[in-house]
Structures are given as structure tokens and as C-alpha cells.
Amino acid sequence: MNFKTIRDFHWITKMVIALTALLLGLLIAGGIASSYWMSNQQDQTAFNASQGLLSMVMTLASILMQVFLLILIFMAIHMVVTRIKMWIETYLDAMLAKLDLLVAQKPESEKVGATLAAMNEKVDGMEKKLEHIERILVNVGE
């Protein structure tokens, strides 16, 4: 398997990892402060710290839900735009290839056209000779 290091991740992925780590860190710190307060009920500072950390965790969690949703929407739009861009580039490359093929075939078609024009002149000349021969035969037959 080919694993990427964090250095190779996209900046959005790095931001999501950092925010999630911050949320988990605050949750763990709040849990530790809360368990310390539970073991020592007289310490009001530990209670205030645990309540403050847990309120920060709840606030950050509610904000991160919206941020992660926005990031997901941004990534989906980016993927769609990238696919459309790739399709347009492929289409334009195919059209340019057809144009190059037509440009390459143009001298050949001009040669064929010149050959057909020469053959047409020869056929016209032969028709005139046949008409002349017919007139002679009609005159001879009378």
C-alpha cells in the first residue's frame, strides 16, 4: 500500500485533522478536569474549569459540524468543476485531432478533385467525338 505522509495531504485535509484533534484534546482535558472535580468535591476551580472546557467542546463541536459540511460542499463542487474541465479538455483535444486530420486530408482531396476534373474533361471530349460519329453514321445511313 502507498500511504501518504501528512506533509503530502491537501490543506483542507490538514485543517480537518487539526480541528478534530483540537476537539478531542479539549474533550479529554474537560474529562480529566471533570473527573478531578468528582474526586475532590470541595475544589470549585476544578468544577469551573471542567464546565468551561466542556462548554468550549460543545461550542467547537457545533461549529465544526457546519465547517465540515461547508468543506464537504466545497470539495464536491471542486470535484464536479474538475470533471467538467477534464471533459471539455478531452472534447477540445478530439476536435483539434479531427481538424488536424481534415487539414492533412485536404491536399489529397485536392489531388482527387484535380484528377476527377481531368477525367471529366476526357469524358466530355469522348462524348463530343461520339456525337460527331453518330452524326456521320446518320448522314451515311440517309
Alpha-carbon distances of 134 from 6, 85, 120, 141, 142, rounded to whole Å: 94, 69, 21, 10, 12
pLDDT, tens digit, 9 for 90 and up, residues 133-142: 888 887 887 6
Task: List, for residues 10-57, the tens digit of each pLDDT value.
Answer: 777 788 788 888 888 877 877 777 777 677 666 677 777 777 777 877
Asked if the structure places residue 138 within a domain, the reply is no
| Tally of structural domains, the chain | 1
Is residue 105 included in any domain, yes or no? no
Return d(Cα 95, Cα 79) in angstroms, integer.
Answer: 24
Is 1 a member of any domain? no
Q: Which domain holds residue 73?
A: 6-100
pLDDT digits (tens, 9 = 90+) for 61-110: 788 888 888 888 888 898 899 999 999 999 999 999 888 888 777 777 77
Domain for residue 125, yes or no? no
User: According to the model, what pLDDT value does residue 80 have?
Assistant: 92
